[in-house]
Structure 1
Amino acid sequence: MVLPSGPVLDASSAFLLLVTVLVFLLPLFTYFPPVPPSQRDALLETHSPIGLKPGDSGLQSKQRGHVEANGSSAKSMSGGKLKAHCEIRSLCIYPVKSCKGIEVRQSKVLPTGLEFDRLYTFAQLKSPFPLGVQATDEEKEAHKWEFITQRQFPLLATVQVDLYLPDAIKANGRSTKVSDAFLLVRFPWQEPGLRGALSWVAAKIARGRHAQPEKELLLPVAFPRPDEIEARGYAYEQVTIWRESVTALNMEADLPQELRLYLGVSNRLGIFRIDPDRLRPVYRCAPTVDEAGYQPVTGFQDAYPLHLLNLSSVRDLDGKIDKDEAIRDLDPRRFRANIIVDSGDTPYDEETWKKIRFTPGPSSKRGASTFHVSCRTVRCKMPNVDPDNGHRHAVEPDRSLRKYREVDEGARHKGCLGMQLTPLFDETASPEDMESWVEVGMCVEVLEQGSHFYIPQ
């Protein structure tokens, strides 16, 4: 007996059915992508990220030979002079030391530098041999935590850091108050096998065809409370920054193991939060307590609260570098400055400054901010790292810096570019008094000029 058979789809019918299903599902995938929610998605419900989009960057015209005048012609009443055509072109903060920075249009200035700058640093438990996760207490005591940067691990340049601040409009109507700010740290990571393939597909669906799978780490901006420290298993430990040691909060309990593997750190990896009550005092070339009205301090910055860079000086050095496929132009982001100015046709003019004031334009609501120009910035090989891909050039710009920029008697056989700043405030009686603002477009008013002599750490 032959059983009746149902209709059989031919190839064209099957193709038509497949197209119909895809057309039906495509809008659903667009508005409701079939990917697990990320921490970024959750943050966007109540927070907004700060920072400029790449197209709005003040460094887009970094190779331009001059800066147009902004119409300001103010003079300092204390005898200072306004540098013609010299203005702030860009402001950058680096919440996690040596990771990607965030370009902003304006920033609050605190004694430690720009707000949110260098709150965290990665560190490795340094030893002659790698220390395992299950190490004994005796083994741990023989090791010490040392900060790490792109100097040792250039892939830190590819670790993205986003700062999310509470958004009152988004949080309106919610039952719980939203007041905490967060840092979202992201780095490329794809698991092997099927799980990795699915994460690759999910990244493309969620963020576009150029997106890659990522791993996320959420960090609080505010210093954790004692109960949070105990509950999360954080610990106060000594961490070394160059030749200084500071007691900071080790939050390695939150670190994904994949980050250590991605960076290529063989030792134990930690992440430290600077304690606002245990900041590092700054001496050497910084103003004294009598001069500044307070003891200059810093967090996880290398040595001084802020770093200033002049685009005119970068352009001059750019013309001296031997270019190749790996370095076609000298990107100012390589130098990781906080305040980037442009003095037009006068490179290295900043090296004559001893005290400056940034003055706002007539449309600004901000007041002026004053800084002590403490010393030159002595350069290591870190600017050799490409800020986009983390590739380290074999020689440049370090070779050219040492050849053309050995200009400080206190830093023999080293290249210098940029200046270190210490904030000055009109009132220093209380922490609330010690605040000012800087914003893009402010002009540079030189109050005092003189020479510099670098004092090493």
Structure 2
Amino acid sequence: MKLASVHFYPVKSTMGHDVPEAEVEPWGLKDDRRYLVATPEGQMLTAREEPRLLTCRAEVSGGTLTLTGPHREPLRVTPTALLTEVRVWRTEVKLTDCGDEAADWLSALLGRSVRLVWLDDPTRRPVNPKHGTPQDRVSLADGYPVLLASTTSLDRLNDWIAETAVERGEEVPAPLPMRRFRPNVVVSGVEEPFAEDGWKRVRIGEVDFRVTKPCDRCVLTTIDPDTLEKGKEPLRTLAKYRRIDKQLLFAVNLIPDGTGVIRIGDPVVPS
């Protein structure tokens, strides 16, 4: 087994970056999901509610964030010194506001008033204590620092989706790309589909991770990131084949037990 691809997302729910290597920090890949978009009242927003976030590209260079979108010229973001509380799922997190210019740029993109906020101190947000230790931290990812997916599992899922379409007399859709699932690391060479569900630990290159639990998938996976159209897949097929404890599962969540650099082609060794 080997590491097939590496991905990170500087602003939660915006376009991802495919990179040849990434630095693993205790709370996730370097620069992954350190920013998010929130309402003025302090409620997190994602592409689940605002699919147009998927048209925004965020790049980090020299510690500076630049936003690019279809509606305006690119914007370099300068965070303020103002801390504000934002509700990230069920947790209130202190985040740094990124100023009126960034707010105006994103509000124009989404057609509603929003703010951009930054997790300046990544030690502020703990992981769910049910699946981690009191010392574990996470950036602004949904719940855990790193998401791992397997190409073998995606191939099986796409086969199931095609079979479901045939059974229903529908046109067989094009296979879903991995980016629908927004993983950080993708592994190839796994012998059996969904074998990763049973892993307890995994070593990627020289970095060790704990496998916490399979990932429950949501409506975001049904949005085509190119057209923003919503469909029924993959949730319809996951509900048929991968519904476990009322959750629709694909990919697994990881917590780093060390730091270092992971690279495409690195060996992947589960245990």
TM-score after normalising by structure 2: 0.91
Q: What is the CA-CA distance between 1:376 and the residue it aligns to?
A: 0.8
Q: Classify 1:339/1:318 alpha carbon distance in 2 versus 1 (closer, same or farther; 3 Å).
A: same
Give % identity. 29
Q: Classify 1:101/1:343 alpha carbon distance in 2 versus 1 (closer, same or farther; 3 Å).
A: same
The one-letter code matched in structure 1 to 2:58 is V
Distance in 1 (CA, whole Å) between partners of 2:123 and 2:191 is 42
Distance in 1 (CA, whole Å) between partners of 2:251 and 2:104 is 36
- Would the aligned equivalents of 1:297 and 1:305 in 2 still touch at CA under 8 Å? yes
Say how many residue pairs are matched.
265
Matched, 1:374 2:212: yes
Map of 1:416 onto structure 2: 249
The 5 A counterparts of 1:380-391 are: 380-391=218-229
Largest Rg, 1 or 2 = 1
Which of 252, 263, 270 is the aligned partner of 1:439?
263
Q: What is the CA-CA distance between 1:383 and the residue it aligns to?
A: 0.5
Structure possessing the higher relative contact order (Cα contacts under 8 Å, 6 or more residues apart): 2
Runs of 4+ in 1 over 6 A off after TM superposition: none
Q: What is the CA-CA distance between 1:377 and the residue it aligns to?
A: 0.4
CA RMSD of aligned residues (A): 2.0
- Would the aligned equivalents of 1:155 and 1:389 in 2 still touch at CA under 8 Å? no
Map of 1:401 onto structure 2: 238
Distance in 2 (CA, whole Å) between partners of 1:241 and 1:263 is 19
User: Could you list the per-position Cα deviations for residues 196-255 of structure 1 after superposition, in whole angstroms to 9, with x for gaps in the alignment?
Assistant: xxxxxxxxxxxxxxxxxx4322135xxx6xxxx3xxxx5211101111110111124122
Map of 1:159 onto structure 2: 56
- Structure 1 alignment gaps of length 5 or more: 1-85, 126-143, 165-179, 190-213, 290-294, 360-367, 426-434, 448-457
- Would the aligned equivalents of 1:282 and 1:298 in 2 still touch at CA under 8 Å? yes
The one-letter code matched in structure 1 to 2:39 is Q
User: Could you list the per-position Cα deviations for residues 157-191 of structure 1 after superposition, in whole angstroms to 9, with x for gaps in the alignment?
Assistant: 11112233xxxxxxxxxxxxxxx4322211112xx
Map of 1:104 onto structure 2: 19
Distance in 2 (CA, whole Å) between partners of 1:278 and 1:424 is 15
- Would the aligned equivalents of 2:12 and 2:140 in 1 still touch at CA under 8 Å? yes
Map of 1:185 onto structure 2: 67
Matched, 1:319 2:159: yes
Q: Classify 1:216/1:283 alpha carbon distance in 2 versus 1 (closer, same or farther; 3 Å).
A: same
- Structure 2 alignment gaps of length 5 or more: none
Map of 1:150 onto structure 2: 47
Distance in 2 (CA, whole Å) between partners of 1:249 and 1:241 is 14
Map of 2:120 onto structure 1: 275
Matched, 1:118 2:33: yes
Map of 2:201 onto structure 1: 355
Matched, 1:240 2:91: no
Distance in 2 (CA, whole Å) between partners of 1:258 and 1:236 is 20
- Would the aligned equivalents of 1:285 and 1:375 in 2 still touch at CA under 8 Å? no
Higher strand proportion, which one? 2
TM-score after normalising by structure 1: 0.55
Map of 1:168 onto structure 2: none
Which of 65, 73, 77 is the aligned partner of 1:215?
73
- Would the aligned equivalents of 1:239 and 1:245 in 2 still touch at CA under 8 Å? yes
- Would the aligned equivalents of 2:123 and 2:138 in 1 still touch at CA under 8 Å? no
Distance in 2 (CA, whole Å) between partners of 1:384 and 1:440 is 27
The one-letter code matched in structure 2 to 1:420 is N
User: Could you list the per-position Cα deviations for residues 328-385 of structure 1 after superposition, in whole angstroms to 9, with x for gaps in the alignment?
Assistant: 21111011100111234411010010011123xxxxxxxx110000111001111011
Q: What is the CA-CA distance between 1:404 and the residue it aligns to?
A: 1.3
Higher helix proportion, which one? 1
Q: What is the CA-CA distance between 1:327 and the residue it aligns to?
A: 4.9
